[in-house]
């Protein structure tokens, strides 16, 4: 899913270090989601929580390093980077899929696509689906091609609010990281309380896709990114350097053992969990899984030479992680539009087709659209970048208005007996 600029431990120097294991974690997360949506891993949907925890960690690490370097947070610069990173791939997918659905999709699918598209553009698709009573656990049948983007909306809403909160905390004076940790922990607990209070055992969609009840997955990652939490974690695991050294090193054997336990526990959860019948997920299970994911991320950063971290740095897994955002964007529309009934494929034949198409389109998106705009296009920055953003948003509005919606179904009541 989302890819955030990577960093190592946020030291006082603000120095960054690219960590291969975090790319591998993204690769694992997107594999879980792919296996879940193709019916091969009942708990693979938990990969979304791993994405959330990783995003919360990396975003907070970036923000805190900016505070260390400048004493503040530039919201305009932050949001500009997020737009350049996320919008080109999303806009491309929205346009291509909408036109494809219009050309080959049944009328009902065209209607939901045109209805959902503007809400995707506004990063509010999760709330739109909830307003339309589109249940998550029964949605993967007669579907909506943009239904999977609820999680992107949750992350985007987090990116809008969390940097502003960090900025407010930074303006309060010293010990910014400690205050950020307190805010993240308290907000995580509040989010968990809301999930437990609002869950409907018959259909937990509201608490699964609502931003308020899923925020803890991102916030736990954010908490682990702060120096006080990292230092406490380092001390608990017998750090080579304690709080006075920034907690940069963790005792190898002990950290490696904990990483193995965390990875094994999360793997068991992915294998045995059934989202439909696992009510415990919504009374603390998702919180514990997100906490495990956040700790896994934090320990991979602090102990990059541990066995699990080195395994996650496997090159094919890292590459899959680098394109995971675009793979996530494309895989569900492909599943909906090229179903076994439409393709004549089933089982692993259909699964491999979906994987190949998703990865192929994601790679094309990354190398031909995303990376050029993100790293090389000077017009995508400053005033010209703002104009390009406005033009693209207007183009999407034109798309939603220009594509003709199918005529509504009419029933002649005179023909009813």
Question: What is the pLDDT at residue 249?
Answer: 47
Say if residue 271's pLDDT is above 60: yes
Average pLDDT over residues 60-71: 95
Say if residue 110's pLDDT is above 70: yes
Question: What is the pLDDT at residue 140?
Answer: 47
CA distance 287 to 101: 37
334-366, pLDDT tens digit by residue?
Answer: 999 998 888 888 899 999 999 999 999 999 999
Domain ranges within the chain, ordered by starting residue: 20-401
CA distance 59 to 53: 10
Say if residue 220's pLDDT is above 50: yes
Grade residue 409 by pLDDT with cuts at 50, 70 and 90: low
Question: What is the pLDDT at residue 173?
Answer: 81
Question: What is the pLDDT at residue 208?
Answer: 94
Say if residue 5's pLDDT is above 60: no
CA distance 309 to 304: 5
162-218, pLDDT tens digit by residue?
Answer: 999 999 999 988 899 999 999 999 999 999 999 999 999 888 999 999 999 999 999
Say if residue 236's pLDDT is above 90: no
Question: What is the pLDDT at residue 255?
Answer: 86
How distant, in Å, are the alpha carbons of 13, 93, 237, 240 from that of 243? 15, 46, 13, 10
CA dihedral for 48, 54, 56, 58, sign (positive or negative): negative
Q: Say if CB 9 and CB 249 are below 8 A apart.
A: no
Q: Say which DSSP state 408 is in.
A: P
Say if residue 42's pLDDT is above 60: yes
Biggest alpha carbon–alpha carbon distance for the chain: 82
CA distance 356 to 200: 37
């Amino acid at each position: 899913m989302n890819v955030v600029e990577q960093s190592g431990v946020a030291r006082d120097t603000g120095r960054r270090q690219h960590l291969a294991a975090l790319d591998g974690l993204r690769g694992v997360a997107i594999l879980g989601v792919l296996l879940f949506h193709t019916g091969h891993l009942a708990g693979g949907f938990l990969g979304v929580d791993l994405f959330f925890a990783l995003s919360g960690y990396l975003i907070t690490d970036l923000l805190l390093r900016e505070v260390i370097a400048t004493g503040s947070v530039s919201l305009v610069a932050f949001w500009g980077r997020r737009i350049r990173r996320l919008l080109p791939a999303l806009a491309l997918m929205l346009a291509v899929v909408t036109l494809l659905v219009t050309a080959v999709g049944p009328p009902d699918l065209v209607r939901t696509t045109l209805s959902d598209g503007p809400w995707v553009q506004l990063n509010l698709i999760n709330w739109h689906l909830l307003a339309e009573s589109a249940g998550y656990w029964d949605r993967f049948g007669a579907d909506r091609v943009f239904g999977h983007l609820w999680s992107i909306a949750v992350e985007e809403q987090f990116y809008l609010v969390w940097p502003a909160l960090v900025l407010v905390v930074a303006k309060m004076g010293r010990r910014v990281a400690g205050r950020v940790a307190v805010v993240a922990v308290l907000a995580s607990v509040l989010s968990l309380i809301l999930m437990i209070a609002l869950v409907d055992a018959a259909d937990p969609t509201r608490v699964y896709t609502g931003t308020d009840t899923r925020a803890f997955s991102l916030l736990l990652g954010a908490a682990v990114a702060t120096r006080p939490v990292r230092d406490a974690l380092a001390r608990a695991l017998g750090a080579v350097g304690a709080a006075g050294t920034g907690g940069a090193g963790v005792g190898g054997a002990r950290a490696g053992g904990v990483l193995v336990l965390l990875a094994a526990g999360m793997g068991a959860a992915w294998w045995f969990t059934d989202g439909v019948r696992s009510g415990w997920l919504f009374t603390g299970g998702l919180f514990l899984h997100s906490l495990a994911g956040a700790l896994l991320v934090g320990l991979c950063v602090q102990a990059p030479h541990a066995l699990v971290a080195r395994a996650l740095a496997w090159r094919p897994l890292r590459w899959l992680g680098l394109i995971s955002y675009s793979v996530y964007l494309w895989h569900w529309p492909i599943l909906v539009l090229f179903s076994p009934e439409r393709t004549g494929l089933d089982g692993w034949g259909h699964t491999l087709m979906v994987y190949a198409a998703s990865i192929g389109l994601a790679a094309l998106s990354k190398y031909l659209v995303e990376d050029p705009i993100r790293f090389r296009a000077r017009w995508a920055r400053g005033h010209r970048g703002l104009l390009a953003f406005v033009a693209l948003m207007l183009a999407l509005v034109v798309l939603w208005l220009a594509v003709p919606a199918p005529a509504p179904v009419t029933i002649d009541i005179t023909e009813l007996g």
